[in-house]
Amino acid sequence: MRENPWALQEHQFLEDHLARSESLFSLGNGYLGFRGFFCEREPAHHSGVFINGFYELSPIHYGEDAYGFARFNQTMVDLPDCRYLRVSVDGESFSLASGGVEKYYRELDFKRGILTQRVTWITQSEKEVTITWETLLSMVDPHAGSLHVSVECSAQALIEFYSSIALPAQRPHTTLDPRTGTILSSASLIRLESSYNQDGFQATFKTKESGLYLACGALHKGSREMVVEQRIDELPALNYAVEADKIDFYKCFYYHTSGRPNEHLPLDAVREGRVKRECVNWEQLKKSQKEYLDQFWAKADIEIEGEAKLQKALRFNLFQLHQSTGRDGNSFLAAKGLTGSGYEGHYFWDTEIYGMPFFTHTDPQTARSLLSYRISLLDHARSRARELSQRGALFPWRTINGLEASAYYPASTAQYHINGDIAYSMFQYLDVTQDYTILEEGGAELLFETARLWIDLGHYNPRKGGQFCLDEVTGPDEYSALVHNNLYTNVLAKYHLERVVELAHHLQKESPSFWSELVEEIELQKEELEEFTMAAKMMFIPFDEELGINPQDDQFLERQEWDPQRRGPIHHPMLLNYHPLV
C-alpha cells in the first residue's frame, strides 16, 4: 500500500495497542488537547482531555524534610469530555468493544488537522451501517473544537445521537515510573453549575486546591429535522433521534478557563465564553483550519525524496510539536505535550533547547510567546534564588505555575543550567529575529538576573589555577548528580555571561534611555559587568590532555565502568531498575 506522507493511518483496531494509539492519534491546538480515544469513550486506555497549564495542587510529603524543599506538586488535570457522543441504530449502541465491525480505518491528517475514524458495522438486525467521525480542534480559535458524524444505513432505521459531558474516569496508578505522571488520589474538579441552552448545554467547574475555573459546553446541529429529548445524567445530556437511512450530525464544543499563569478572567466571563458564531459552521472551521496549516507548512515543511516513511515521521513530529505548544503567553510546551499526563504536564528545559529553535526559525511569534511565559515568572525565580541563598534568579526545574515542583533536588534544583538554557533561547531569538522589543518587556531583566546567579554560585578555585568553578551541580545526565564542573553547565554559563556583557554594551550605545531605566530597576552595578567578564574568561572547562576530550565533569573519567561480568547486563530504563547511587 502506498505510503501517505501527510497522514498517520491505522487500518486495523488492536485493543492491546490502545495506549500507544491514543498517544499517536492525539489532537491539540496548543491550548486544548484530546488523546486519540473514541467518541463513545470505550474501549479506552486513558480518555484524557487537557488544557495546557490547567493544573491542580497537591502537597509533597517528605519522610525527612529540609529547608527549601518544594512544597506542592502541580498536576495537569484530566478534564470533562465535551466531545462525548454515542451513536445508536434501532436502539443498538455502537462500540468497537461490542463486535460486528467489518471494516475499520483511522487517520490523522497533518495538512487538514483533522482526526478521522470510519467503520462499517453490521447491526444485530443485519443492517450495514457506515459511520464516519471527524474531529477538529481549531487552531484559529483555540477554545473551540468540532465533531462531524456521518451515518449511512443500508435501510431506513432509527438513528440516535446521545450527547453529554463525560466526567474524567478515575484510573489506577500501578507504576512507579515518574514519566507516567501522578494520578491524583481524588477527583480534582468541583462542579459549580450546569444548564441547558439553545441547541446545547454548559457546565462550570473549579479545581479544589489551585482555584482555577473551567467552563465548557457544546452546541448541536443535524442535517435534517430531529426529535430532541433531555436526558437525566450526571451532567446535562441530549438525545437526538430521526428515522432515516442517512444523516450528518455536528457537535461544536468549547472550553474556557481562568486562573492559569497570567490568566485573570472573572468567572462570569468564563461562563459566557462559549464560541464564536463561525465556529459552529463545520465547513467554515475546516476551511480556516486548512488555511492556517497551509501557512504553517509553507514555513515548516522539510521534504525528503525517496523516503516516504521517513518523510511521514518527520511531518508527524513537526505536527505534534506545533499542536502541543502554547501560543498565548499563559502556557508552554509540556514534556508530553498534550498527548497525555506523563510528567504531570510539567514544563522543563527541553522546550528551550529542543523546541524553541524550531519556532524561532519558522514561527517567531510562537517563540516570543514562549519567552513571554518565562518572563512572566521572573519574580518566582527571584524568590527561589533567595530561598536557596543565591543572588539573582533561579528558574524551577519542573513547573507549571512558576514554582518548583520536583521533590528530588539532586536531579532537579541542582540543574542550574536551566538558567542558561532560557538565556540561550532568548539570545537565539534575538539573533534570528532582531526583535529587541522583547528586552523592554522583561527580557533584559531576565537575562541579567539569571546571569547574577552564576557569579554567586561559583568561585575562583586556587586548586584549578584560579579558574572559575561551579560545584555541586547536575547536568543533563541526571544519573550523575551533584558533580563539580559539569561541562554542559560551565560552557553554557560562560556563553550566558559573555552574551549579557555584549548586550550591556549594545544597550548602552543603541538604547541609552532604556539602559538607564534597567540599571535603576534591578540595581545593576558597573562592577557586576566586570565580574561577568572575568568569570566568563576564567570559566573552567574540563579537558583531558591524554585523551584529547572534554569529559562530562571533573570526576567522570575516574568513575568505574560498568562490569557486566560482575553486575550482569544493564537493565533499561535505569531509573526503574537501579537506586540513584548505583
pLDDT single digits (tens) 400-445: 999 999 999 999 999 999 999 999 999 999 999 999 999 999 999 9
pLDDT band of residue 115 (cuts 50, 70, 90) is: very high
Alpha-carbon distance 51 to 121, whole Å?
Answer: 34
Say if CB 331 and CB 31 are below 8 A apart: yes
- Per-residue pLDDT, averaged over 4-29, amounts to 95
pLDDT band of residue 261 (cuts 50, 70, 90) is: confident
Whether 241 and 352 share a structural domain: no
Using the predicted structure, report yes or no on whether residue 185 has a pLDDT greater than 50.
Answer: no
- Per-residue pLDDT, averaged over 148-168, amounts to 97
- Asked whether residue 156 is domain-assigned, the answer is yes
Whether 360 and 262 share a structural domain: no
Span 373-410, pLDDT tens digits = 999 999 999 999 999 999 999 999 999 999 999 999 99
Quote the pTM value: 0.94
pLDDT of residue 273: 65
Q: Pick from 229, 248, 276: which residue ends a domain?
A: 276
% residues pLDDT > 90 (the chain): 85
Whether 48 and 159 share a structural domain: yes
**How many distinct structural domains can be found in the chain?**
2
* Of the candidates 216, 242, 217, the residue with the CA atom closest to the CA atom of residue 229: 242
Whether 458 and 371 share a structural domain: yes
Order of strands, sheet of 32-34, starting from the edge strand that comes earlier in the sequence: 27-28, 32-34, 49-51
Alpha-carbon distance 502 to 448, whole Å?
Answer: 12
* Of the candidates 19, 46, 18, the residue with the CA atom closest to the CA atom of residue 34: 46
Whether 37 and 154 share a structural domain: yes
CB atoms within 10 A of CB 272: 12
| Mean pLDDT value across the chain | 93
- Residue 131's domain is classified under what CATH number? 2.70.98.40
Alpha-carbon distance 87 to 39, whole Å?
Answer: 9
pLDDT of residue 268: 73
Q: Pick from 276, 293, 323: which residue ends a domain?
A: 276
pLDDT of residue 277: 57
Q: Pick from 219, 245, 276: which residue ends a domain?
A: 276
- Per-residue pLDDT, averaged over 143-149, amounts to 96
Whether 265 and 402 share a structural domain: no
Span 562-582, pLDDT tens digits = 989 998 999 988 888 888 888
Whether 271 and 378 share a structural domain: no
For cell 526583535, name the residue: 435
Whether 269 and 385 share a structural domain: no
Instruction: State which residues form the domain around 225.
Output: 7-57+71-276
- Asked whether residue 284 is domain-assigned, the answer is no
Take residue 154 and report the three cell numbers written for it: 443500508
Using the predicted structure, report yes or no on whether residue 182 has a pLDDT greater than 80.
Answer: no
pLDDT of residue 184: 58
Whether 262 and 394 share a structural domain: no
Whether 354 and 269 share a structural domain: no
Take residue 359 and report the three cell numbers written for it: 519556532
Q: Is 10 a catalytic residue?
A: no
Catalytic residue among 441, 478, 502, 527: 478
- Asked whether residue 281 is domain-assigned, the answer is no
- Asked whether residue 35 is domain-assigned, the answer is yes
